[in-house]
Amino acid sequence: ATPTAVMVATGVGANNGILIKGGDALERAQKIKYVVFDKTGTLTQGRPTVTTMKTFTEMNRGDLLTLVASAEASSEHPLGRALVEYARHFHFFNEPSAAKGSQNDHNESNFSGWLLDVLDFSALPGRGVQCFIHGKMVLVGNRKLLLENEVTIPDEAENFVVQLEESGKTGIFVAYNDTLIGVLGLADPLKREAAVVVEVLKNMGVQPVMVTGDNWRTASAVAKEVGILDVRAEVMPSGKVDAIRSFQKDGSTVAMVGDGINDSPALAAADVGIAIGAGTDIAIEAADYVLMRNSLEDVITAIDLSRKTFSRIR
Interface pick for ligand ADP out of 1, 35, 79, 223 (rule CB under 6 A):
79
Tell me which DSSP letter residue 80 carries: H
Q: Is 120 a catalytic residue?
A: no
Question: Edge-to-edge strands of the sheet including 136-141?
Answer: 49-55, 179-187, 170-176, 136-141, 128-133, 119-124
Size of the site for ligand ADP (CB under 6 A): 23
Interface pick for Mg ion out of 10, 40, 60, 104 (rule CB under 5 A):
40
Tell me which DSSP letter residue 42 carries: I
For 47, the 3-state DSSP assignment is coil
Binding flag, residue 170, ligand ADP (CB under 6 A): yes
Binding flag, residue 45, Mg ion (CB under 5 A): no
Q: Which does 77 bind (CB under 5 to 8 A by kind): ligand ADP, Mg ion, none?
A: ligand ADP
**DSSP notation for 92-108:** HHHTTT----STTTTSP
Q: Which does 75 bind (CB under 5 to 8 A by kind): ligand ADP, Mg ion, none?
A: ligand ADP
Considering the complex, state which of residue 80 and residue 277 has its C-beta at the smaller distance from ligand ADP.
Answer: 80
Tell me which stretch binds Mg ion (CB under 5 A): 50-58, 158-166, 216-224, 255-263. Answer: 255-263
Question: Edge-to-edge strands of the sheet including 32-38?
Answer: 18-20, 289-291, 272-276, 253-258, 32-38, 207-211, 230-232
**Distance from C-alpha of 282 to C-alpha of 238, rounded to nearest angstrom:** 15
Catalytic residues: 38
Residues that bind ligand ADP (CB under 6 A): 38-40, 72, 75, 77, 79-80, 125-129, 140-142, 170, 172, 212-214, 237, 262
